[in-house]
Amino acid sequence: MAARLTLRDVTLRFGGITVLHDVGFEVEPGQIFGLVGPNGAGKTSLFNCISGHYRPNSGSITIDDAEVAGVRPSTLAKHGLARTFQHPGLQLRETVLENVMLGAHTRLPGGPVEWAARLPHTWRSERKLRAEAGTLLERTGLGWAIDNTADELSHGLHKAVELCRALMSKPRLLLLDEPAAGLPHSEVQQFIETVRSIRDNDDITVVIVEHNMGVISALTERVVVLDHGAKLMEGTAAEAQSDPRVIEAYLGKDEVDDAA
Ligand SMILES: Nc1ncnc2c1ncn2[C@@H]1O[C@H](COP(=O)(O)OP(=O)(O)OP(=O)(O)O)[C@@H](O)[C@H]1O
């Protein structure tokens, strides 16, 4: 079942610098939710707090009813959380299929001894997961690349492989960090179609950090705008784009005054 994500008063400091100030919002189960804001606004830091890579100094982060602030990323996978990164870290010498299979490690049964002995239930489940990874790659338009090594693919396709790897853990909450950055227009369109298909076919909540407002408008039902680590506004993508506070945050006050 898709997860509900709730943040309350999340504050994060690095030394004397406050990077996030009392940020709060709620993402409904099954929603595609956008997190936007100018460079340095704190979007990735907030993602890192949600995914357990940073521990907030104060505040609460819950997935459904479970408090997860400060919980390690490996434990968060058990709460159904998966994420992608601005720079996908693929195993470049491994095939695309092997890379996607890495996302399934939380679903493999048994321990190291059973795997070393290649007990029948281990190879049966591995075969099933390989078939599932293949289907996922077909669905994302990457079926042709299953046996290619990752280093043979473009940056944009690395992002698509990383998305498949995240989906292999069967997440209920998926965080996508700048998934369209650096993609050519044709691949942006493919990405939008892929996320729509995920939302329509999988029971999943998606939170997306993205600078490309075309992608945010096409995909999200709701957005939060961050500026200087604080929540500036919350609403639809269209409301955000016409909000004078948001325009000023992106352009700077002087440019807005000059244009007036
Ligand atoms: N590990 C860290 N130590 C110190 N400061 C950090 C650290 N990580 C992020 N920051 C600072 O926190 C602020 C927010 O950075 P963050 O990367 O979260 O912003 P962002 O909105 O994701 O930016 P961008 O859109 O450019 O990726 C910046 O001022 C950044 O320099």
Pocket probe mutation, ligand 1, options 20, 45, 209, max atoms within 8 Å of Cβ:
45
Q: What is the pTM of this model?
A: 0.90
- Tell me what pLDDT residue 127 has: 85
Question: Per-residue confidence at 254, pLDDT binned at 50, 70, 90?
Answer: low
Find the 44 Cα to ligand 1 centroid distance in Å.
7
- Tell me what pLDDT residue 113 has: 63
Which of the two residues, 74 and 84, has the higher pLDDT score? Answer: 84
Report whether residue 48 contacts ligand 1, using a CB cutoff of 6 Å. Answer: no
How many Å apart are CA 210 and CA 159, to the nearest integer?
Answer: 14
Low-confidence winner among 16-30, 66-80, 99-113, 205-219 (lowest mean pLDDT)? 99-113
Question: Per-residue confidence at 156, pLDDT binned at 50, 70, 90?
Answer: confident
Per-residue CA distances from 80 to 58, 143, 156, 174 (Å): 23, 26, 25, 8
Closest C-alpha residue for ligand 1 atom 26: 39
Closest CA to 57 of 7, 14, 5, 6: 14
Tens of pLDDT, residues 104-126: 877 766 666 666 667 666 677 78
Q: What is the DSSP letter of 67?
A: E
Environment class of 189 (CB within 10 Å of its CB; exposed 0-12, middle 13-18, buried 19+): middle
Low-confidence winner among 22-36, 221-235, 237-251 (lowest mean pLDDT)? 237-251
Domains located in the chain, CATH noted:
1-80+171-260 (3.40.50.300), 89-170 (3.40.50.300)
